[in-house]
Chains A and B, each alone.
Chain A
Amino acid sequence: MSDAARSIVLMVNGTAMSVAPGTTVAAAVLMAGAPTRRSVTGEPRGPLCGMGICFECRVTIDGVPHQRSCQILCAPGMSVSTAGLPTS
């Protein structure tokens, strides 16, 4: 993908990254190399169903926790934090 196509800049765990329009927050988090959440016994987890049913892809977006990142598209200036890390 050309850099020009990655026109949306957002923060994932405090680091800026750029993605193409239409990219889901779950995809951005995966590209950033972060698990989406820690399970109740502390295991790292990532997306499973990709369709908003399993709730494994829950992250905090702009301070709002428990957002299903596979159902939400990246937007300019969005700030995403995962696995209990503070939003930058």
Chain B
Amino acid sequence: MRDSFDILVAGAGPAGMAAAVSAAAAGRRIGLVDDNPAAGGQIWRSGGELPGDARRWIASLEASGVVRLQGWRVFDAPRPGVLHAERGDGECAELGYKSLILATGARERFLPFPGWTLPNVMGAGGLDAMVRGGVPIAEKRVVVAGTGPLLLAVAAHLKRHGARIVAVCDQAPWSRLLRFGARLLTEPAKLRQGVEYRMAIRGARYLTGCWIVAAHGHDRLESVTLRQGNKQWNVPCDFVGCGFHLVPNIELPALLGCRVDHGFVSVDENMQTSIPGVYCAGEPTGIGGVELAVLEGRIAGLAAAGRPEEARKLARRRRGKLGFVGALEQACALDPQLRSLPTGDTRVCRCEDVRFVTLHGHSTWRDAKLQTRCGMGPCQGRICGPATEFLFGWRVESVRPPIFPALVSSLGSAFESDGPHPNSAPEGAFPTFAKETP
């Protein structure tokens, strides 16, 4: 199928929804393409209760007339003004745009430790998403670990669903978390939320400067070993949610050629990237949380729709909030001791089962890829890339299409502008979209 838009938004999380709704108010043809089954992104993932803000944005989106392509994964940007996307059933779409807003969000950073590949060891947000997807958690013993504000939010949410939170372990030392807490005095809403989360899990152990050194079990998780300072002890549990803050999803911006600085997409005050007409909003420009993501989405939407005055007003508000990005990054800085968690046998690349010991002696990400197949599996280094960046200081580079695995039939010539490939489906074989995609 082919469609084209005045403004196309990639990603239907808080930033993407805000961008699409803000742009739509200007009465243009807007498209919103997203990989997930429903709008909301990860932080406002459907399943279970959603905060009022989320419900309002989703309602606005539904009323907006934005063409929604939900369940479509963008895998290529073959030429300026065009993205290619694929749906789970193998259908392929060519999406044209005059302006593009990238709201691709973030993922958790995972660090390898012995046993982290056992079933029921997941990301913190990963476990939360699984519970929202229907995994029964009542009476299950859960350890939440890693670093960042997500840990308390996840623990509180799982507790509300009846989980027995055995421990919440943040690798950051208490002194640093206190400093971050003090910084939140200028962000009363965030502080209140943090206190609410903490109250929700009172009774659970909240440990700082503490992390999982190993997970144990045969075919699935049975227990973890925790370490805090010199103390080390074993804790039986059914699930682990372990994530070390967030890393931005910059594969699509990088593929398009947007300038990336220290791992984040560079934008001007209108959220425009180094490519005219291509905007970026939310976590890819700096991990700042949902409030900032929404604000950036609104700015990008208004700017892309040619309403610079309104965008400028919001840009002033954004400047006041950017300090939080740095504060969060400082609070989540990783303890160098975490580099010694993997043993020689620990899988670092889960797709290709590349062991930690195998990676020693390689000097770059590219070298390791070529020699060991690290990062060559279907996740394309999305999991092991950020891990090796921390473990070895490697820079993950050379993004190229397809940025997600795609069917051979979706690649290459099905959409060549000089006519269909002889083996491609005949014209009209792809159904075109109604306004809403189920």
Contacts and interface: CB of A to CB of B under 8 A. Distances in A.
Chain A interface: which size bin?
35 or more
Interface in B398-412: 405
B353 A27 contact: no
A46 B220 contact: yes
B314 interface: no
A31 interface: yes
A56 B352 CA distance: 11
A51 B44 CA distance: 12
Contact of A26 (B133, B249, B350, B377): B133
A73 B134 CA distance: 10
Nearest to B73: A52
B133 A24 contact: yes
Contacts of A58: 378
Given A50-B122, A50-B133, A67 B88 contact: yes
Contacts, number: 126
Contacts of A68: 88
Given A27-B130, A27-B134, A56 B350 contact: yes
Given A22-B46, A53-B383, A70 B129 contact: yes
Contacts of B47: 22
Nearest to B373: A40
Contacts of A31: 134-136
Interface string B360-385: 00000000000000000111001100
B117 A50 contact: no
Interface of B: 35-37, 42, 46-47, 71, 73, 88-90, 107-108, 110, 117-123, 125-130, 133-136, 219-220, 249, 347, 350-353, 377-379, 382-383, 405
12 contacts: A22-B47, A30-B119, A31-B136, A45-B117, A46-B122, A48-B110, A50-B129, A51-B129, A55-B379, A66-B405, A71-B37, A72-B88
